[in-house]
Structure formats: structure tokens, C-alpha cells
Structure 1
Amino acid sequence: MKNIILSISLIALLTGCKNETTKEVKSTVQNEVASIDSYQPKIEIMPISHATFAMKWDDKVFYIDPVGGIEAFQNLPEEDVILITDIHGDHLNLETLNGIRSEGSLLIVPEAVNEKIKEDQSDAEVIHNDQSTSFDGFKVTAIPMYNLTEERLKFHEKGRGNGYVIEKNDYKVYISGDTEDIPEMRALQGIDKAFVCMNLPYTMTVESAADAVLDFAPPVEVYPYHYKGTEGKSDVIKFKELVNTGNSDIQVNQLEWYPN
């Protein structure tokens, strides 16, 4: 009889422990989901010129396509991460990169860029289209960027450069790099902020850019950037009108990308 009682007690104890463990796991998962759902990032955008800008996201500072000389970055916070999209001079300048990069900062680039900088910057992390890397709660995914129109194919071939999606707690920022309204852009989901290029003859028209923005599960905020081409600046006012005609809930932010 004692053995039976002990067995029943042991089963009850184990069952109770199992239930408590299940409750704890469930509670932990619920807390994590609630934390992600309530996450409000602190993001500050600091445009420098054309395709170059700094972005402070919570306690991390990102430099995007740093060009323009050391002096362009003198009044900016020190970077934690540098992202470079392509090999062209409005995205990559080795002298600027060598001059502004801080010790210990991450440098994320496509292979074509790495080939240009590896003698000076031997520790760059290379990611290819559709690959990702993670650090300190952030995830960076390389998005294809390339031309579609026949007469523009020579400017940006598929697979050479990277657009980027930066993500933290399901909050996503998309940086297009030099591209047209490619299927990979139109298929994006859950983007909260988007930096979208539009300049001829190198990337796409304002009409194509607006149509793509409306297609990719529209973001909360859009920043037209990289909008100066061989015949002047693209009509970003028209871009805003086209976007808001299609979806009035999208906030189109016009920043000063061409101070001079």
C-alpha cells in the first residue's frame, strides 16, 4: 500500500512540475511576443548626399554608402555598422571609407565591393543576394538590385550589388540601392521604412518607383533618395502625389539630399 501511495504521489508531483514548466514556457513565449509587438524603435535619419546617409537606430549607428570625404562625417556620431551597396563612385569611395571607419565597426558588402577594398579593409563581411547576417539583435538581409530596361542593363547587373533590409524585433527598414522596380522589390513584406531610388538613366522613373512602393505591402514611411541623374533631379513631388493617390496612409518624407 505504501508503494502505491508513493507512486501516486510521485506521478502527481511530476505532473505538477510538467504543468508548471509548460506554463513557464508559455508565459515566456507570450512575453517575448508582447515585447516584439510593443517595440517602438528610436530611429534618426541623417542624410548626407544622394545615396549616402547615417541612421541611428536605438543605440546603433549605421553608415550607408559612405562617400564624400571625411569632412562629410565630422559632425555625425561614430558608426557601428557600414553597409555598401555597389561599386560605383556614388556608393563606394575607398579614401572616404578608410578615413571614417572606426575600429571594431562592422563592414557589410557584396563580393564586387570586397574585391575593390580587400587590400585596405580585409575584415569586411561579404553577403550575397538573399543571404543574411545577424548581430546585437539586428538582422541584415541582402536584396537583389539591378536594371530591367534593355538600355539600362549595362548599369547594374543582377547579383553584383546589394539592396538591404535591416530588421530588429520585426521592424524593417529597406534600402533599395540602385535598382529598377524588380520582382524582388515588389515581393517585399512588412516594410516599415523604405529608401527608394529614382534617377535616370541609371535606375527607374518616379512612376515605376511609386508603383513598386504601392505593390510591396506598402510601408508606413517612404524616403525618396538617390534622385539626381544626368538631366537633373527626378520629380519627387510627383512621386509623393502618385504614392498618396494610391495609398493616402503612406507617409512620404522629403529630406535634403542635395545641400549644394
Structure 2
Amino acid sequence: MRFPLSLLFTFSFLASVAQQFEKDTFNASDGQLTITFIGHGSLMMEFEGSLIHIDPSSREADYSQLPDADLILITHHHGDHCDPAAVEHIKKEGTTTALTALAKEKLGFGEVVNNHENFDYKSIKIETIPAYNLVHKRDNGEFFHPKGCCNSYILNIGDKRIFVGGDTENTPEMKALENIDIAFLPMNLPYTMTPEMVADAVKAFRPKILYPYHYGKTDTSIIQDLLKNEKEIEVRIRKEP
């Protein structure tokens, strides 16, 4: 079936309207950093002509309507973080995809980055620490995210250090972080952290700005109340789609 050009334009316009994402912009030492909040664990960052997608998921957006990636970072292999269909829409010739071993098994390509390995993408230095559960388990007794198979990423963009937790709890490695400007911490049960666990981690490594993300139906007022006396830590809540 062929649609009139005017109708196709209407479809395109409606698709663009449906994908109105919140964005924050920061002045980094080497340029302007824009962070787009796609939803759940999915983020998009733009810096100095490079576009970074983190944990793209078709559940959160129509990735065929989003710009192609120069760099894709995938924290782990679960479908809401590693979605082959979403990745296929934003992958182009020359795209660098950095991911875990299990995520590579799922996608069939990419450069494996293990816990505690660091790498560079242009001027951006990227560090990893393990992302894992300390408490929450499946019915069979296995952790939802066992230690060693999932990454959290620290992106050094200009003079900004940005922590992206992925699926993790308040691990010793996270609590030992230093000089974090912006932190994305997951806050939903049973897979990641309670607000109390997020507050425990934040009080330890003290990011300047905290974005609770991956929070689903969790009451975000709880984390705001838990951190209300931490005047040096700004809590920013961005909507879940």
C-alpha cells in the first residue's frame, strides 16, 4: 500500500512528537555535553561531534528515529539493556560497540570490556567497575546480576566524570569512587537498589549530581527525602516514559 506524501509527512511528524525526551546540558572543559534521557536504563550523550548511546532498548524508544551512534556502550546482556533490534537501527559503518562478553554473545559483535578494564574513545576515557547484586536473588538462589558479568561505566568527558551504574547494588567498588560529577544509579526492585541502598552509596562517593534512573514505579520522593540534608548533592528526577 502506498500512502500520499502528505500522510507520510504526518506519520513522520507524529513519530517525532511522540519522542520528546528530556535533556540536560553541561559545560565541560573541552566543549558542551548534552545528556538525553531516553528512559529506564537508556541514555544518549553528545559531546564534541560524537554521539554515544548507552543500553539502547526498543521498549523505551523507536531507535529508527534516533541519530546513529559513534559509540555504543552496553552494561550487560539483559534485554532491557542489550537489544539487538535497537542496536541495529543506530549502528553505522565505523560505530564502536563496547560491551560485556555475554552481551557480545547476544549481539554477535563488539569489543569486550571486562570489569576494571579501561579504554579510550577519542578524547573520552572510559573506566569500568563490576556491577552486581549483593542482596537480591532469583527464586533459585542466584543473584539477578552475578559479580563478573556486568559493567558499570565511568566516562571522563572533558573535566566531567560521569558514572552510569547499569544494573547494580551499592557495591564496595561503587562506594569507593572519587570525584564523580554526575551519577546514574538504578533504583527498582527486585533487580537493583532500594532508595535506601542508593542513599547509602551516594553518601559514600558523593557525586555532585544524582540522577536516579531505571526506577520504574519506585517512589522517587523517598530518595529525595533520604538525601535532603546532603546539601552538596543535587538530586535530579527525570521522568520514566
TM range (shorter): 0.7 to 0.9
The percentage of counterpart residues that share the same residue type is: 37
Q: Which residue of 1 aligns with 2:143?
A: 154
Q: Which residue of 2 aligns with 1:237?
A: 221
What displacement does 1:149 show?
0.8
Q: Which residue of 2 aligns with 1:196?
A: 185
Cα distance in structure 1, aligned partners of 2:188 and 2:171: 15
Cα distance in structure 2, aligned partners of 1:142 and 1:63: 16
- State how many pairs are aligned: 211
Given residue 44 of structure 1, which amino acid in structure 2 is its aligned partner? T
Cα distance in structure 1, aligned partners of 2:123 and 2:195: 34
Cα-to-partner distance string for 1:17-53 (whole Å, 9 max, x where unaligned):
xxxxxxxxxxxxxxxxxxxxx8265222211221112
Structure with the bigger percentage of helix: 1
Q: Which residue of 2 aligns with 1:23?
A: none
1:1-260 equivalences in 2 (<5 Å): 39=29, 41-68=31-58, 72-118=62-108, 121=109, 124-149=110-135, 151=137, 153-216=142-205, 218-228=206-216, 233-245=217-229, 247-258=230-241
| TM-score of the superposed pair, with normalisation by structure 1 | 0.76
| TM-score of the superposed pair, with normalisation by structure 2 | 0.81
Cα distance in structure 2, aligned partners of 1:178 and 1:40: 30
How large is the Cα RMSD of the aligned pairs?
A: 1.9
- Please identify the structure whose Cα radius of gyration is greater: 1
Q: Which runs of 5+ in 1 are unaligned?
A: 1-37
Structure 1 residues 58, 214: closer, same or farther in 2, change over 3 A? farther
What displacement does 1:227 show?
0.7
Q: Which runs of 5+ in 2 are unaligned?
A: 1-27
Given residue 185 of structure 1, which amino acid in structure 2 is its aligned partner? M
Cα distance in structure 2, aligned partners of 1:115 and 1:242: 40
**Which SS does the other structure have where 1:189 is aligned?**
coil
What displacement does 1:151 show?
3.3
Cα distance in structure 1, aligned partners of 2:155 and 2:51: 12
Cα distance in structure 1, aligned partners of 2:96 and 2:239: 27
